[in-house]
Amino acid sequence: MSYSTENIKNVSIAGHGQTGKTSLFEHLLFAGGVISRAETVESGKTTSDYSPEEIERKISIHAALAHIERKGKKINFFDTPGSSDFTGDVILSFRASEFALLAVDGRSGVQIETIKLWRNLDGRNKPRGIFVTRMDEERAGFENVLADVKEKFKTGVVPFTMPMGSGAAYKGVIDVLNGKAWFAQGDAPEKEGEIPPEFKDAAAAALERLIEAAAEGDDTLMEHYIDKGSLSPEEMHKGLIEALSENKIVPAFAGSALKNSGLVPFLDFAADIAPGPAAARDSGKNTNGEEVDVPVDPGKPLSALVIKTSYDQFSGKLSWIKIINGKLSADSEAFNVSENRKERIGKLYVCQGKKLEEVKELFAGDIGIVAKSATFKTNDTVTAGENALQFVPLRLPDPVHAVAVNALAKKDDDKLGEFLVRAAEEDRTFRYSFNAETKEAVISGMGELQINIILDKIRANQKIEMETHVPRVAYRETITKKAGAEYTHKKQTGGHGQYGKVVLEIAPLPRGEKYRFVNAIFGGAIPKNYIPGVEKGIVEGMAAGTMAGYPVVDVEVKITDGKYHPVDSSELSFKLAARNAFREAMRQSSPTLLEPVMSLTVFVEEKYLGDVMSDLSGKRGKILGQDSVGGIAEIRAQVPQAELLRYSIDLRSVTSGTGSFSVEFDHYAPIAGKLADEIIKAAEAFKVQETEE
């Protein structure tokens, strides 16, 4: 069955690891009548954690999608991973949803990943709410969590549901908006009833706060509220929809998924009040390359974004697609703007976890799957015709952990590369490349766990044995003073010989300038047609420096003089002369090594702050600053890349697995002394090893 745009809602369930997201997702499907029984994560039979690696490890690794029909609305739910290693699937779900529900453990409150997710949602101005889980467990405190959210995010939270007791005294929740109580019944669905007398005052106070929040959603409603002191149910409904769609309020919900409690009121909220696609905007680039907002509009021609690629053992390649405009029909033709090719659309599906359900069409706002596409890949734009806008790609973080990998058997190298490419297509935070400079196949991702899971899957399914090691760092060489040199390339072979003389000067450039070529030849000492050969020779000379064979950067090369022979000179002669002249000048210019320095941001609980900063100092890091928000510290530093090759492992050790970080290249910096000597020695050993192989 297909649903029109006004009857579609998209919700992402996200949060810190172990906050009960998968259980919440599973029990929502049970409450919505999609499944007859809710399974536990431990059973390995949940709707969303269905891959072998998820079942084995009992954690979510991939985003899963399922839908519930409620009050004539189709509500698409994403269940997303909690580990920062798999943040890519959280980001794609945020992109495809109009509302994010952050699961927060009723005992632990806001945690590091909650903060990072909140910041990501702020960057999107995405409406969000919180669901306080495990209210039936000891030490759970709904009001404590709301206070924690208020302190850490400087925002007020409006309870739409509130718990009746906690821990062993937990009875269920009150639906504040509709004035009902929902009593937990254990394994059975929750049961509607009257609000118990002892909770009526609290429910009335919560309703008053809801009325104020609704009034904040619309200026006219605010006037009515000021005049009358209240709002009608219809006015409340309208105001809450507007306030939420404009991200003015953060609704809060309470419950216990394992007791099937607090679920029905949330489903009613999702169907009635949560923002739908019509209130959302996507980001695209028009034919002039300008970034523009793209409203979701069923009346326009088809445009859609491929948000994810996966491979199923039986169905083959599956392209997850969010329809932004118009509709996509099965057995039709579309245009892949990113590939500039027409694409034949075969069967269309929606999914309930791993189960695919065939549909004939998908309307704007909906999310579905195209099977066995010839060209679709993640981030591709799909339209009705050519010359259309292109959607902005998913804003994914750069990888933070890398290893070099190779098959133990040489014959398996190509096969290994093939499956690493496929893994990178499925998860865009995972990357695979061959570094020609260090002659290594390097894979990188968001953490050791992500990389190990991908490699273990290839080992198990493809029977490829492999080994990994820390990647070599791509150092650079540069010069510290001016120098000059000349070189004459002369070779007599009996017929035409080779002859070219080059005189040049080199000088340091500011860091990051890379290379500048200056032709200062006068009087035709080197004819113009040989100058390109001279520059090619210099570029070749810069490809491998004289200290350790690393590329040379930040050098100005000025050609000042030379000599040619009318018969024996050629472009090759001048290329060889220039290359050797450059290398000779380099030796006289006090060369030095440069190492890549990274910009590092670390998120840790304040109790680990001293240990982390001490560890960074031991890694030759330079602390740039720090901020602290509600017990979570953010440390900004610059650290040499060589010290960060295993930082995801080191940080986990220092912070008992709770810390996280992001890293990106910042600049190259000089390195000297014993450290430089060790790098040069290692480079020479690598050359010997290469020669022997």
| Band of pLDDT at residue 688, cut at 50, 70 and 90 | confident
In this structure, what token pair is assigned to residue 321?
A: 């697609």
Whole-prediction pTM: 0.87
Query: In whole angstroms, how large is the CA radius of gyration of the chain?
Result: 31
Beta-carbon neighbour count of residue 404 at 10 Å?
Answer: 17
**pLDDT over threshold 80, residue 538:** yes
The mean pLDDT value for 294-301 works out to 95
**N-terminal to C-terminal alpha carbon distance within the chain:** 61
Task: List, in sequence order, the alpha helices (H) in 156-259.
Answer: 200-216, 219-228, 233-245
Cα-based torsion angle of the residue sequence 577, 579, 580, 585 in order, rounded to the nearest 10 degrees = 120
User: Average pLDDT of 214-219?
Assistant: 86
**What is the helix (H) or strand (E) element at residue 151, kind and residue range?**
helix 142-153
**391, two tokens:** 């959607």
Buried b (16+ CB within 10 A) or exposed e, 107-121: bbbbbbbbbbbbebb
CB 476 within 8 A of CB 550: yes
- Cα separation, 495 vs 668, whole angstroms: 48
- Give residue 518's pLDDT: 97
What is the pLDDT at residue 289?
Answer: 82
Distances (CA, A) of 666 to 260, 640, 641: 49, 10, 10
Place of tokens 């001279």: 534
Nearest to 547 by CA among 684, 692, 691, 436: 684
pLDDT computed for residue 692 by the predictor: 65
* Tokens found for residue 171: 């009875």
**pLDDT of the residue at 180:** 96
Q: At a CB cut-off of 8 Å and minimum separation 6, what does 690 contact?
A: 439
C-alpha span between 179 and 402 (Å, rounded): 54
Contacts with 661 (C-beta within 8 Å, 6 or more apart), sequence order: 400, 600, 601, 602, 603, 647, 648, 651
Residues contacting 257, CB < 8 A, separation 6+ = 20, 23, 24, 26, 27, 28, 133, 263
- Domains in the chain: ranges and CATH: 7-196+248-279 (3.40.50.300), 281-391 (2.40.30.10), 401-472 (3.30.70.870), 477-590 (3.30.230.10), 594-675 (3.30.70.240)
Mean pLDDT taken over the chain: 94
Read off the pLDDT of each residue in 355-378 and give the average, rounded to a whole number.
Answer: 96
* pLDDT score of 659 more than 90: no
Average pLDDT over residues 6-28: 97
Contact 99, 10 (CB under 8 A): yes
CA distances from 119 to 115, 153, 232, 667 (A): 6, 9, 35, 26
Instruction: Read off the pLDDT of each residue in 571-597 and give the average, rounded to a whole number.
Output: 97
Among the listed residues 341, 358, 288, 362, the one whose alpha carbon sits nearest the alpha carbon of residue 2: 362
494/648: higher pLDDT: 648
Coil/strand/helix, residue 314: coil
- The whole-number average pLDDT for the span 340-357 is 96
Q: What is the DSSP letter of 135?
A: T
Does the pLDDT of residue 343 top 90, yes or no?
yes
Instruction: Please state, in angstroms and rounded to a whole number, the distance separating the CA atoms of residues 133 and 129.
Output: 13
